[in-house]
Amino acid sequence: MLTLDPKAANLLSESVKYLVSIGFRNISTVIAYGRRVNWTDDDMEILRAEHNKIADFLKEEFIKGNRIYVSPLISKIKECIAGKNPAEHCHLGVRQMPVTPNGNLFPCTSFIDDEDYRMGDVFNGIDDKKVAEIAKRSNTPETCTNCDLKTRCTNSCGCSNRMNTGSENKVSPLQCTYERMVIEIADRLGEELYQYDPKAFMEAFSRSK
């Protein structure tokens, strides 16, 4: 996984190409977020250009017969075809339970050692009441309910929402801008690949990762 700081935004596409050149075929990229990170409008424009470069690179590799998985672009295409909602991948307290060295259970690695989010431990079991309480905090934010992209966006990721806005159920302008960007570029890439070779496209994108 490649976590991108604003200061390194202009290096994203070259970093992906380098990783592919040394043999990597599955690469996940995420942007750094939280109150200590400041993404400006100029940074986001650079990020858009870099994602477009990655999309062009993936198209070139696809034409050569090379199948390279770079998330979030490829995942957005696959999820769209499969009708999957990425917001359901990591629902707090439901989809995953990281375990600490001392056996405590938390809904996400970002909440480790925060007692408000401890859901039990491996010795005494899961606190079902706590799990239900935490799960209720992470749903589609009210500001997203009427958005056409709500089922293609990670709007209910309680971890990123909390780090960006302080609330699991409130999406940040950064997350919204980023998701709209990658969905737009992924759709452009998907359309171009399909137009190039519909059969190869379906073979590549309708199967599991």
pLDDT tens digits, residue range 137-177?
656 777 888 899 988 988 767 777 777 777 777 888 888 99
Confidence (pLDDT) at 22 = 97
pLDDT tens digits, residue range 90-137?
667 666 788 999 999 988 877 888 888 899 999 999 999 888 887 776
Confidence (pLDDT) at 97 = 82
Distance CA 56, CA 39 (A): 24
pLDDT tens digits, residue range 124-144?
999 998 888 877 765 677 788
Distance CA 93, CA 109 (A): 11
Helix and strand totals (H; E) in the chain: 7, 5
Model pTM score: 0.81
Residues in Cβ contact with 98 at an 8 Å cutoff, skipping those fewer than 6 apart: 105, 106, 107, 108, 109, 112
Confidence (pLDDT) at 105 = 93
Q: How confident is the model at residue 70 (pLDDT cuts 50, 70, 90)?
A: very high
pLDDT exceeds cutoff 90 at 84:
no
